[in-house]
Each structure stands twice: as C-alpha cells, then as structure tokens.
C-alpha cells in the first residue's frame, strides 16, 4: 500500500481505518521501544543517543559557538518527535489499555523529564523568554534520557526497583549509623583545634558531615579528630563503615547478574 492509498483511506469513512491506525501505532511502538531488535529500532536508538550527546555537549563549554545552536536545534527536534511518538503510543507500553493511558502519560517520571528536556528549545527561538532562562540547567536533565537507550543503566534501575525494599533497609541502617556516630563524636571530641582556636565540630551538622565521609571512606581531610578518644571512634567507624557500604554493592551485583540471566533466557 502506497502513501496515496493511505491518504484516501483516512480521507474517507473506510472501515479499515481503525485497524490500519492500530497497526501503524504498533510499528511505531516497536521502533521507539529500546531493545526491540529490529533495524529501524537500532537506527532510532542511535539517533536519540546522538541527540542526547550533542544536546549535553554545549554544557561542557563556557563559551557558546554557533555550532552549538544547531546542536540544540537538532536535539530539540528529536526530543519533540520522541515525546509525541511516545504519547500517541502510550496505551501500548502501559498497563492501562484505554484512553486513561494517554491522560496519565504526561505525568509519568520519564515523560516529565522528556518535557523539561524540550523546554530549552524555546530559548533558541526567543532568548529573552523569561520562563526558559534556566534552560542551561534544564539541559542537564537530558542526561537522564540516556537511561532509556543505554541498557546497562536500564538494568541497574530494574535491579534497584526489584531490590528496593532491601536497599532502603540498608540505606536506613547507614543513616542511623551516621547519626549515632556523629552524636558520639560531637560529644566526645571537645578539644579545641589549635589551627582555628575553635571546636572541631562547631555544630551537629559538621559532625554528621564527618560521619558520612568516614562511613564512605572518602576522607576529604577538612575535618578530622585531634583527640585520642576521637581517633579511636574514627577507627571503629571506618571499619564498620566498610562493611555497611559493601552491603548494597553485593546486592546490586547479585541482582545485576540475575537480571542479565533472566533477560538472556527470555531472548
């Protein structure tokens, strides 16, 4: 069926109009759904990845050249097209198979990120438009779009969703440990810092910041205990912190391998 035949079908009350529209939307959905496997999908994914990269590239430079304007225009057009195609096929990649899928789609997380990523395009057309003067910050959101087209990140998010209960438990444990350690150190480290002539921890937030850095073994060196008691607490905190930090790493690694295995079995 050629293009003019399709025009004639949609211009008249042809009974096959609804069926053809459904088939067309299904084809579009296969193209825009990452990992579909067909050649059109691979080309589309590559085009969107390029659009994301060239859309982020200007953020790496202080000075803006004319070429970046075309980069923004290209990425903006791609994002608008992608948003529209995903909206018109919302019912095909949603649990809701009726009109409510189209109503709810704009309020989903990824749809809102897509929409905010599009807003900087208006700054190209009207640079004085006050609403989009924060376009440089909104462009940063485009990096989150890469999750949809970069499979390793998508798998990590899938693992995080499946293991959310366990990960939240570990996070709660880590926050509780940071709080307790900060509280102990805040009251134990009462010596005056000879370099500043003040307390090492002037407020509880300083102690909380130190405890978080110690737990993660980052060790910036801007805050460190100077008393013997404080140093003993710091040693204990660091040793326990290593074990707590290792917990989510093991959970995510095991979940990642299980997700890869299940996806291979499905293929």
- Among 12, 33, 9, 32, smallest CA distance to 20 is for 9
Asked if 48 contacts 149 with a C-beta cutoff of 8 angstroms, the reply is yes
Please, which pLDDT band fits residue 192 given cuts at 50, 70 and 90?
low
Average pLDDT of the segment spanning 52-59: 83
Reference 246, options 221, 220, 224, 217; nearest CA is: 217
Mean pLDDT within 137-158 = 73
C-alpha to C-alpha distance for 71 and 83, rounded to whole angstroms: 18
Is the confidence at residue 260, as pLDDT, over 70?
Answer: yes
Place of tokens 């959101």: 141
Q: CA-to-CA distance for 196 and 207, rounded, in angstroms?
A: 16
pLDDT at 123: 66
Q: Does position 67 have pLDDT exceeding 80, yes or no?
A: yes
Please report the pLDDT score of residue 230 as a whole number: 81
Predicted local confidence at residue 17, as pLDDT:
61
In the predicted structure, residue 126 carries a pLDDT above the cut 70:
no
Question: Bigger pLDDT: 54 or 189?
Answer: 54
Cβ contact 30:22 at 8 Å = no
Q: What is the pLDDT of residue 45?
A: 85
Q: What is the pLDDT of residue 132?
A: 43
Region of poorest pLDDT, from 70-74, 104-108, 200-204:
200-204
**Contacts with 210 (C-beta within 8 Å, 6 or more apart), sequence order:** 182, 185, 201, 223, 224
- Predicted confidence at residue 7, as pLDDT, reads 47
Name the more confident of 130 and 89.
89
């Amino acid at each position: 069926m050629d293009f003019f035949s399709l025009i004639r079908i949609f211009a008249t009350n042809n009974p096959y109009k609804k069926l053809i529209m459904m088939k067309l939307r299904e084809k579009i959905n296969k193209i825009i759904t990452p990992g579909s496997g067909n050649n059109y999908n691979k080309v589309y994914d590559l085009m969107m990845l390029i659009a994301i990269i060239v859309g982020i590239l200007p953020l790496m430079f202080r000075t803006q050249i004319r070429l970046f304007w075309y980069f923004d225009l290209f990425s903006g057009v791609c994002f608008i097209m992608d948003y529209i195609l995903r909206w018109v096929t919302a019912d095909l990649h949603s649990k809701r198979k009726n009109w409510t899928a189209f109503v709810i789609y704009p309020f989903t997380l990824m749809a809102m990120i897509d929409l905010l990523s599009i807003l900087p395009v208006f700054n190209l057309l009207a640079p004085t438009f006050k609403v989009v003067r924060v376009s440089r910050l909104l462009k940063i959101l485009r990096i989150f779009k890469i999750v949809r087209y970069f499979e390793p990140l998508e798998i990590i998010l899938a693992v995080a969703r499946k293991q959310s209960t366990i990960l939240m438990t570990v996070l709660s444990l880590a926050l509780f440990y940071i709080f307790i350690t900060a509280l102990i150190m805040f009251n134990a480290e009462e010596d005056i810092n000879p370099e500043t002539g003040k307390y090492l921890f002037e407020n509880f937030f300083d102690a909380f910041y130190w405890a978080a850095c110690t737990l993660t073994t980052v060790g910036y060196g801007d805050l460190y205990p100077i008393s013997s008691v404080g140093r003993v607490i710091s040693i204990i905190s660091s040793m326990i912190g290593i074990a707590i930090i290792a917990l989510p790493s093991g959970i995510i690694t095991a979940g990642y391998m299980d997700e890869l295995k299940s996806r291979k079995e499905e293929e």
